[in-house]
Structure 1
């Protein structure tokens, strides 16, 4: 077996060689630009790290690109961190694009003192930008080294090695000249704030669009057209957009890239290719997209929710059979273990929704912390100062009356907040100078998003849920059976959007004033239905990852916590949520028809003792079991037959990854 060829790379400057992972630039340290290393320079003389052609010199002289002739390695040397803003002042270049150089040749000098005086880091970074295609590994020798000394060696992968032996190496740097021409005609590096791309277009954020030469760019070979939209200067490339983007970033520097916004733009334009044109199609598409965001935001915490649901069920059994009392410290400790993930759910959902929608996840987590701040939670349940449109006014903000809602257990406000942040954040980054972004982007984002949720979104949800609650009471008074059918079928939909919270006070008031609640009995049937549906999936699926989630979700749903079943399985695969809702409608109908009553809060199967009349066992207990068994049979059977198949899992996995390269959006 032939031995794979080893390539060697020199250090481009005197100094201390350091691992790439400790370089203080996330683009390089995370390996986004490829394998490599950093150097803390002791002087400013820069040499070529490899023998080859200079394929790129950044307009601001802070970066050089090399291509080796024997194996087409593409090597980037980046002088300093965030030095693009210095517009070339600290650098002197001795070569030009197209020159052939030998490893060790002096190519430039950098003024270290000038860079430090500008409050920039002098670290020189070397990255093999096509290492993912070319190299199996790159071993770096750390420590003090002289410019031109071999400090790294890499092993060519089998494809590159064999292609070289056969004389079939692919062309390197194919888009470098196009990238150079585009940069020059959008006004140069100094006119670029940042660059992202979608599936067909380079999307520049320019400081002054009037400096761009539209006609010249549109007529370049490799460019389809030029467009301007949403504050972006868009260069339409087509299927090769990612290659051209990489070539441009290599020249202007990774500090002008934005990976999260690029990923978001790619996802949006890929989805737009499937966007329907009919009114009903648009409604279905919008709802499907919303469900995708909701389930995607919840998936990372589903396991925790399932575990907490099971723990809450165990605690319910312990209190039901008087093993522990609600006043015991044991109860308080176990309750904290079971409730914490729900109490602080906005923090977790804020983080995951931020990642899903392209907002800063840490900032969104902090906003979730604002909504669950203990003083605000106390305000939400505190004294009512006045009422407005059925809302309790329980606070003020600079004299403005405020309805403070409780956001524990809620997810929709945080998802809406993450969507708003995904729109606000790029704008803030464009208008706030780079040196101020670290402080002022989080400051404005936390204030604006938190304020929008507390002052606007929360009250809107409260008004809607209060109206729904009044309608539910009216329907129940008209006909318990019909109300059971309607509430059973749609209650878990209300849970998704946080509109169910107005129902909880009605249940609490019923139990406080009469000692029982017919309405809570119907809600209990919806929990059983979610459990019956996910039980069918647990038994039917042959996929280990589905079974691993479905079984705990089943236990959790029957223990009264439906979030793992709903967000982790049923809602994610669509039809299963519908079949579960049909089962819930049947269970709700029977519960209302038989006038099943409930004397406690804990529902689902774990809460069977809540259906025991304290004055003596009556038909409510047996009615609960009849309705629950019927609910399980209907939801289980419909889900088994129509609600789920293993092929749905693969369909959900591949749907977000579709790329329609012919789309010119």
Structure 2
């Protein structure tokens, strides 16, 4: 992978740095908040060699790359250092009105904030969590005692990031909200100051009693404080002259926010924490198997939509309230079921490329990185994803029924099992195994891995008997050519074919061959197949009058293309709004040389629509 080249391509295709409010990354994805998502050329990004897929969820534009995402992000920052400064919604153009408040918008903003706050240190927290679990295992096996120097040193290494979690979160959350990160860190350090760790100490501030509380390992208090800082900091910046602003604004924030947190924010967050913990406990104890079934089965669905980060504060809060979390172990069957589905694809696939991709992703998913598996394999093939949902749900139900819990919260993977050391561990391991094996077996027998109708299966060109299959060039509704509102096409004067009412912005090649005609207006393209079939794709009726507006030709005359290669990008909605019929026609211009068999499919989505066979001489 050429990270620099890929970064430049992605930057250009998302609309340039002027279209980016913020950019950051997690374990596998570049995450953007864009000013205008319609400027992003999603299909072109999706077709880049080193991009797995593009996802839009939780108010974010996400480019899934895989384990090398960090290199690409670093290359992005090298191109434009502003992209390394965190999330920013203050750079929106003046002529771009802010959207009205809505529950959906507020939830998307919350998810974006939480994900941006947790993702930068997720790897460190996962590594520390695994070390903490291993130490618990060593003590259980009597290999080590909690009083030994080795244990104490390693425990400090493992527990440090959790103990001082408010400090770490203060830095990343402040970066998200574009406030002074070091003031946020100073506030967090005050909260974990040893004086306030003494719950038996009775304090007051200006004669107002301070509620006793411990803020180490907490999540909610510091996140609330940084949100408050977001509103107060600009006020002080405006009040103080620039000559003293850098000193007096932090002074005012520290003098106000630390007491405010201890007096108001802390008690409020404690009430929220107790409520969340109570709800989780009630649901988990009332119907543990159902909780496991839902969370184990749908966790990867939450990941797809980007809303899984909403669970992070809940799990961290459980850890702080009870000293353990019952939800974390349920996530492991969801992860292992994706690995099992990938194994089923590996064992069943006939396509060498898919087999190799699935084989490598079995290992990746087992160690907790499931995005490449989901977007590159199971979700693309659809049925394997459903098989994984079933496996994860049943496995999750077994794990929940076991009563096992996690002593730390981190990345769910096979390495996190030592953190689950508690009563019920043997049964939970059975649930993990069931999720993996069941997903693999279901995928192997019912996953439809080699179905020719599978969207991303290798397209066929010419068969041994000379038959050529023409794939749908665009997603949409299939119509007979006779229904087209143009007599030339409807009468088949130009040749036999089909028509499609488009539901996508990219037209792809239906066959492998050579571009014979590439109209500069972008409204039509001709392909001569490797076996001599001549195909004309005509986008809309009378759209030549648009003089190229709403069209972008992606290929040039003489270029070799494979089936499914993007040929033209067009805005089918804008074309219709301009008063033109946007129906796409696929015509075989040398029809007299062939016999035809038309598919009965009414929906076009990379499926074979026409089979042509040379006429006998």
On whether the aligned pair clears a TM of 0.5, the verdict is: no
Larger radius of gyration: 1
Normalising by structure 2, we get a TM-score of: 0.43
Normalising by structure 1, we get a TM-score of: 0.40
